[in-house]
Amino acid sequence: MFYSFAISADKKPLIEELTSCNPDFFNYVYEYREELKNHTNIKTFNQDQAYIPVESRTDTNKNFIYFKTPIQYKNLKLIGYYDSAMDLKKMGKYYFWGFIIDNDINEIHDSLDFLEWKNMEDNLLYIANPKIRNINDDILVWHRNTGTVVGVKTIPAPNTTEKLLLLEKGDNMQLLICSIQGIVTNSLLQQERPDIYADKVK
């Protein structure tokens, strides 16, 4: 059985909120918490934020969870949640979070046609909303990134942090995930990934 979340004028679908790759996503998870409980476990923090927990962000065998029942968005079937964290020392820290989708990668691309996609590898990888900041920028500042940095295939420039949306065809799953990578200070992590910061300060 599939469930579609009710959509009101002031409440975007959760998948659309994810594509912005900003921390408001965790407020939306909180708003949708009652619907989401039909599909998976939810953890609440900071009174008005919540996230979908995985067993271990740092273990590639445990950094995802499949939903008890899928979530439907248009023609897409969201079947799980992915949450990965890696510290590659001099290469920077890498955080990924988002949905596992049981559709062809190009079906996902076409259903999210409000995004300005950049084709990185045909039928394998697309990116959208690439942003960059310098370590000396105000913590709230993000600039549009005209480079083509993707995941951990390239290293962010020294003293910078990058953020973008990835649509990736994996070996066993299609992922629609946000990424933040490079220099990620504790204060930036607290702002951008408050769910991870909440776990760290328990």
pLDDT in tens, 22-53: 999 999 999 999 999 999 999 999 999 999 99
Residues paired with 9 in a beta bridge: none
In a domain, 1, yes or no: no
The answer to whether residue 5 is domain-embedded is no
- Token pair in block for residue 99: 């949905």
d(CA 76, CA 174): 11
The parent domain of residue 57 ranges over 14-200
pLDDT at residue 53, rounded to an integer:
96
Structure token pair of residue 51:
């996230």
Structural domains in the chain (count): 1
Percent of the chain with pLDDT over 70: 90
In a domain, 35, yes or no: yes
Q: Is residue 120 part of a domain?
A: yes
Q: What is the 3-state secondary structure (H, E, C) of 11-72?
A: ECCHHHHHCCCCCHHHHHHHHCHHHHCCCCCCEEECCCEEECCCCCCCCCCCCEEEEEEEEE
Dihedrals phi, psi of 83, to nearest 5 degrees: -150, 105
Q: What is the pLDDT of residue 9?
A: 43
Entry pTM: 0.90
Side-chain-side CA neighbours of 50 within 13 Å: the count stands at: 18
Do the domain assignments include residue 8? no
In a domain, 29, yes or no: yes
User: Is residue 6 included in any domain, yes or no?
Assistant: no
Assigned domain for 50 exists: yes
Write the single-letter amino acid at 134: N
